[in-house]
């Protein structure tokens, strides 16, 4: 394994001086966040390489706090003068506190890249070939596949976080994503099938991962849906296949357990620590340390080591997720959940990899125990209103369950439920845990990579937003 250790993104003395400048107007705490992001992508569409794109972003965000007020300024100019200007802009917005001397920076500020094969060392031709291979595998499935598009993207994000408490930590994150979208054409019109693989890993991903099998799954999904009938309208039991619906928990309760929303009274889970909020079979974890999963980070974007946080244990709410400012005002340790989209953004409480742990039931028994319901093989994105707990998510592959058997495929539609109700209504939990597809979680206009997972499970009742009566 060729682990790669690099020194700090910016010189220690330069950072130390910038922190001092940032606190010079009476700031009580200051932070410098430096980010260098390089990404590249290849699009394969209509049977040919359509484009290759590369992108580079380098800059710093400087944050100063006085009491509950925060000043923040970002700049792409990392010279002494550029950083000084941004530090003064941030300081001007958070001034007049009792002057506090910053602590000297500790730590190395160095960062370790865990990728075995850095994507930048792989030829562009090889990446293009990967998309071509994926396209070919999808098209071979059936002549009804009329369109295939494949997107490969890679990103390397080096960060450095330093603050007036002496934190001086770095991280070097490499992520790879490959997605395939198929369109199938039939008598009833067009249908789509999508599959995505993504990990916090280097190009060695493709030594193990079968991209052709993934392409075939996406193609079959589109073909299957050509025969789909309209989804039901109304309430039914819903069985969700392992790894297909971790987004349920992300939306049903994940966002509501973010301390910033809780603190402002915008969460149905406020003041409920220690209460039974879910079926006693449910243990919900957010874990930023989880192998090479999509939401995995070594440190969060406030320099705090990522960790495994149990949020719900055997149905009892045990903790919320925290960032620096919320944990400080509550007098507790942060939980490694302070994240931001880029150096141009203020961090806030965000999930990493959020999942429900295994139950004890065989997945086949969950289906056979269901007389009438809906079987969801893949959920798409979702959205939640944290104040009411109402959330929606889309079914991108689903079937009817009739007399304990999976039967007719269903057209796409949304499901809607209420987070606190659904948690209580997880009535069967399988023993076949799997992580799901990589996701991008949006909050207040910022997107960050997140993972999710769950075993096969049954919710007693959700509203299916179809058109069939």
Q: How far is the CB of 454 from other proteins (least distance, A)?
A: 17
Among residues 262, 61, 93, which one has the least CA distance to residue 163? 61
Q: Is 80 a binder of other proteins (CB under 8 A)?
A: no
Q: Is 423 a binder of other proteins (CB under 8 A)?
A: no
* Residue closer to other proteins (CB basis): 7 or 234: 234
Binds other proteins by CB under 8 A, chosen from 295, 315, 382, 455: 382
Binds other proteins by CB under 8 A, chosen from 4, 12, 14, 58: 58
What residues from 258 to 287 belong to the interface with other proteins (CB under 8 A)?
261, 264-266, 268
Cα(295)–Cα(315) distance, rounded to whole angstroms?
Answer: 24
* Residue closer to other proteins (CB basis): 22 or 231: 231
Q: Is 385 a binder of other proteins (CB under 8 A)?
A: yes
Binds other proteins by CB under 8 A, chosen from 1, 2, 46, 187: 46
Cα(301)–Cα(97) distance, rounded to whole angstroms?
Answer: 25
Q: Which residue stretch of 24-32, 71-79, 293-301, 430-438 sits at the interface with other proteins (rule: CB under 8 A)?
A: 71-79
Q: Is 440 a binder of other proteins (CB under 8 A)?
A: no
Q: Is 196 a binder of other proteins (CB under 8 A)?
A: no
What residues from 6 to 45 belong to the interface with other proteins (CB under 8 A)?
42, 45
Q: How far is the CB of 361 from other proteins (least distance, A)?
A: 28
What residues from 315 to 374 belong to the interface with other proteins (CB under 8 A)?
344, 346
What residues from 235 to 254 belong to the interface with other proteins (CB under 8 A)?
235
* Residue closer to other proteins (CB basis): 133 or 307: 133
What tokens appear for 171 in the block? 């991280």
Q: Is 436 a binder of other proteins (CB under 8 A)?
A: no
Q: Is 314 a binder of other proteins (CB under 8 A)?
A: no
Binds other proteins by CB under 8 A, chosen from 243, 244, 254, 417: 417
What residues from 128 to 187 belong to the interface with other proteins (CB under 8 A)?
128, 146-147, 183, 185
Q: Is 198 a binder of other proteins (CB under 8 A)?
A: no
Q: How far is the CB of 394 from other proteins (least distance, A)?
A: 3
Q: Which residue stretch of 18-26, 169-177, 200-208, 391-399 sits at the interface with other proteins (rule: CB under 8 A)?
A: 391-399
Q: Is 70 a binder of other proteins (CB under 8 A)?
A: yes
Cα(465)–Cα(467) distance, rounded to whole angstroms?
Answer: 7
Q: How far is the CB of 290 from other proteins (least distance, A)?
A: 24
Number of chain positions touching other proteins (CB under 8 A):
85
* Residue closer to other proteins (CB basis): 290 or 346: 346
Q: How far is the CB of 269 from other proteins (least distance, A)?
A: 11
What residues from 96 to 125 belong to the interface with other proteins (CB under 8 A)?
124-125
* Residue closer to other proteins (CB basis): 246 or 288: 246
């Amino acid at each position: 394994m060729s682990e790669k250790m690099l020194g700090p993104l910016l010189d220690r003395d330069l950072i130390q001086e910038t922190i001092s400048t940032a606190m010079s107007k009476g700031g009580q705490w200051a932070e410098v966040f430096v980010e260098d992001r390089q990404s590249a992508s290849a699009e394969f569409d209509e049977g040919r390489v359509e484009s290759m794109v590369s992108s580079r972003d380098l800059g710093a965000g400087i944050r100063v706090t006085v009491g509950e007020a925060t000043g923040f300024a970002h700049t792409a100019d990392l010279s002494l003068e550029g950083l000084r200007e941004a530090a003064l802009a941030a300081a001007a917005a958070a001034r007049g506190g009792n002057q506090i001397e910053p602590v000297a920076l500790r730590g190395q500020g160095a960062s370790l890249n865990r990728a075995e094969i850095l994507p930048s060392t792989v030829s562009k031709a090889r990446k293009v070939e990967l998309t071509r291979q994926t396209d070919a595998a999808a098209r071979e499935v059936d002549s009804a596949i009329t369109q295939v598009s494949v997107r490969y993207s890679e990103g390397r994000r080096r960060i450095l976080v330093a603050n007036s408490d002496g934190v001086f930590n770095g991280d070097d994150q490499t992520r790879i994503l490959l997605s395939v979208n198929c369109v199938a054409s039939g008598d009833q019109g067009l249908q789509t099938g999508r599959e995505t693989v993504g990990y916090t890993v280097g190009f060695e991903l493709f030594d193990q991962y079968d991209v052709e099998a993934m392409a075939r799954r996406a193609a079959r999904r589109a073909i299957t849906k050509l025969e789909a009938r309209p989804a039901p309208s109304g309430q039914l039991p819903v069985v969700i296949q392992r790894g297909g619906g971790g987004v349920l928990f992300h939306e049903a309760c994940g966002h509501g357990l973010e301390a910033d929303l809780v603190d402002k009274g915008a969460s149905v889970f406020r003041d409920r620590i220690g209460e039974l909020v879910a079926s006693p079979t449910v243990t919900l974890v957010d874990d930023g340390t989880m192998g090479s999963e999509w939401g995995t980070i070594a440190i969060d974007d406030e320099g705090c080591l990522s960790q495994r946080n149990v949020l719900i244990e055997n149905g009892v709410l045990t903790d919320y997720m925290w960032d620096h400012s919320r944990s400080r005002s509550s007098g507790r340790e942060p939980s490694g959940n302070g994240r931001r989209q880029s150096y141009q953004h203020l961090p806030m409480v965000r999930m990493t990899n959020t999942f429900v742990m295994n139950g004890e039931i065989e997945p086949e028994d969950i289906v056979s125990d269901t007389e009438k319901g809906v079987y969801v093989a893949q959920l798409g994105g979702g959205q939640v209103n944290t104040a009411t707990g109402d959330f929606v998510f889309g079914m991108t592959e689903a079937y009817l369950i009739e007399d304990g058997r999976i039967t007719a495929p269903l057209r796409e539609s949304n499901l809607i439920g209420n987070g606190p109700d659904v948690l209580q209504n997880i009535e069967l939990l399988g023993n076949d845990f799997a992580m799901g597809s990589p996701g991008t979680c949006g909050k207040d206009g910022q997107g960050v990579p997140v993972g999710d997972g769950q075993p096969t499970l049954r919710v007693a009742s959700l509203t299916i937003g179809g058109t069939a009566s």
